[in-house]
Amino acid sequence: MVERNTQSCNARAVILNTSVSLERPALAHIATRMRDVFAIGPLHAMSPAPAAATILWREDDGCMAWLDGQADRSVVYVSLRSLTIISLEKFTEFLSGLVAAGYPFLWVLRPDMVGGSSQGADLQEAFTATGDSKARVVEWAPQREVLRHRAVGCFLTHAGWNSTVEAAAEGVPMVCWPFFVDQQINSRFVGAVWRTGLDMNGRVRQDRRGEDGQGGNGVRRDQGVGSSSVTAGETGRRRRRLVGGGV
């Protein structure tokens, strides 16, 4: 990746899926090394919805009807997208944190997301703990439509760039749980630079040392607190205003 980025300096121009309002300092720095820099994002706002044949998992459009029945800005939308794998222990703690937050949640849970486990019993626990009306779990969701929905007040995300830009474009504050590659940097910018959400990275690193079963309680505590703090009160309203004006 470093080599590829270095080679990009030899290009005639660079086209980036970002915006000047979101990354002005970074774009200005790139412009000192390259002649032409074009920030044309967010690209998803200019693209049609992806064709069904290009989607890896079947989208559950029924989640939109479920969102219609929820109060404005009350739902925590949870999606770690297509590559993230978590342990069964972390999944259980993650679930407990969502329940502890006390808000309805829409969780995109891929069939292969929890390593080496059957998710059926754990999903049943989610519905038992929260009540059917407060939890909706789907294999895949139409993310752009979900983020635009009036009921969504918070996005618990892996902080991949596409998800970060999509949330920013729709003015949805984020709780970032990064795993690898650019997600660490994106999460830091969300929490410390743009201040449009919470960066859970330090807490996540601490709990990763407990993948063998020694450190899971922090996940439950931090996810509950994180989801609540960006969804409710003046903090949530301020972050929504900041994000909404950022792209």
CATH number of the domain encompassing residue 90: 3.40.50.2000
Q: Are residues 180 and 61 in the same domain?
A: yes
Between 37 and 86, name the one with better pLDDT.
Answer: 37
172 domain-assigned: yes
Confidence band of 171 (pLDDT split at 50, 70, 90)? confident
Long-range contacts of 12-15 (CB under 8 A, 24+ apart): 12/36, 13/37, 13/38, 14/38, 15/40
Whole-number pLDDT of residue 156: 92
Confidence band of 194 (pLDDT split at 50, 70, 90)? confident
Confidence band of 213 (pLDDT split at 50, 70, 90)? very low
**% the chain with pLDDT above 90:** 30
Q: Are residues 37 and 105 in the same domain?
A: no
Q: Are residues 20 and 136 in the same domain?
A: no
171 close to 178: Cβ distance less than 8 angstroms? no
Whole-number pLDDT of residue 223: 54
| Domain encompassing residue 210 | 56-242
Distance (Å, whole) CA 115 – CA 121: 15
Between 230 and 20, name the one with better pLDDT.
Answer: 20
49 domain-assigned: no
Q: Are residues 19 and 135 in the same domain?
A: no
Distance (Å, whole) CA 180 – CA 160: 9
Whole-number pLDDT of residue 207: 47
12 domain-assigned: yes
140 domain-assigned: yes
Closest CA to 73 of 246, 234, 247, 245: 234
Confidence band of 228 (pLDDT split at 50, 70, 90)? low
Whole-number pLDDT of residue 209: 45
Decide if pLDDT at 53 tops 60.
no
Q: For the whole model, what pTM was predicted?
A: 0.79
Whole-number pLDDT of residue 37: 92
How far, in whole angstroms, is CA 160 from its chain's centroid?
A: 7
How far, in whole angstroms, is CA 109 from its chain's centroid?
A: 13
Between 233 and 229, name the one with better pLDDT.
Answer: 229
Which of 79-83, 106-110, 144-148, 203-207 has the weakest average pLDDT?
Answer: 203-207
Distance (Å, whole) CA 23 – CA 247: 10
Q: Are residues 30 and 136 in the same domain?
A: no
Overall number of domains in the chain = 2
Whole-number pLDDT of residue 114: 74
Q: Are residues 34 and 141 in the same domain?
A: no
| Alpha-helical runs (H) found in 75-216 | 88-101, 120-130, 143-148, 161-170, 183-188, 201-208
The mean pLDDT value of the chain amounts to 77
Whole-number pLDDT of residue 217: 47
